[in-house]
Amino acid sequence: LEPKEEFSHKTLAMDVMRPRRSDPPLSVITQDGMSVEEVESLIADTSYSGFPVVVSHESQRLVGFVLRRDLIISIENARQRQEGVVSTSPIFFTEYTPPQPPNSPPPLKLRGILDLSPFTVTDHTAMDIVVDIFRKLGLRQCLVTHNGRLLGIITKKDILKHMAQIANRDPDSILFN
Ligand code: ADP
């Protein structure tokens, strides 16, 4: 992101975040209750660089963010090395794993690959502030919440695309020096 490009104050995080109203919902992983095969299909069916991890679909409360490549590596490793890990093994991102019923497949504990403090802004945050944070912290993505509920995600590319669109539509709203 070029430091000299400035955003118009009018643009808010909600205007840039995905999903758009017409898009499929955000792809999230729940902190418990998903199996190895469910997470594997999520990885196979999408190409996102990462997934927010939430307490539950109902609460949409954010627990952290997990990178796609870390998920792939961890599941592959567990399937190869960890005794008994199969498609139906449950995946836990929680601190503690509840005792599993006897003869059930062993759980896969993945809290270690979770970023527990992903950068988050509210949907009403002005985009010039978001851009400033991206630059200063060197972010790749940022999550968007409203009243503690996860709403969406903004990637660096989303910002660049949005800047290009505004520049086309209304060249005065961005100052290119
Ligand atoms: P990039 O924006 O660099 O291509 P991604 O491949 O992660 O990065 O994201 C592609 C698009 O999908 C972006 O518009 C982004 O906002 C959106 N996106 C990223 N992660 C998710 C997700 N877990 N669920 C839904 N949309 C996502």
Report mean pLDDT in 10-residue bins for the chain, 177 residues.
Answer: 59 95 95 97 98 97 98 94 87 94 92 97 95 94 97 96 83 51
Q: Note whether 93 and 33 are within 8 A (CB).
A: no
Give the model's pLDDT for residue 112: 97
158 lines ligand 1 (CB under 6 A): yes
Give the model's pLDDT for residue 2: 62
Nearest CA to ligand 1 atom 17: 18
Other beta carbons within 10 angstroms of residue 74's beta carbon come to: 19
ipTM score: 0.98
68 lines ligand 1 (CB under 6 A): no
- In the structure encoding, which two tokens stand for residue 87, read together? 């498609």
Please report, in angstroms and rounded to a whole number, the separation of the first and last CA atoms in the chain.
14
Give the model's pLDDT for residue 10: 80
Say whether pTM exceeds 0.80.
yes
What is the rounded distance in angstroms from the CA atom of residue 99 to the CA atom of residue 167?
56
Residue 164 exposed, middle or buried by CB count within 10 Å (0-12, 13-18, 19+): exposed
Residue from 18, 66, 141 whose mutation best tests the ligand 1 pocket (most atoms within 8 A of CB)? 18
18 lines ligand 1 (CB under 6 A): yes
Give the model's pLDDT for residue 177: 30
Return the amino acid letter for 170. Answer: D
67 lines ligand 1 (CB under 6 A): no
User: Where does residue 166 fall: left (phi above 0), alpha (psi -120 to 50 degrees), or beta otherwise?
Assistant: alpha
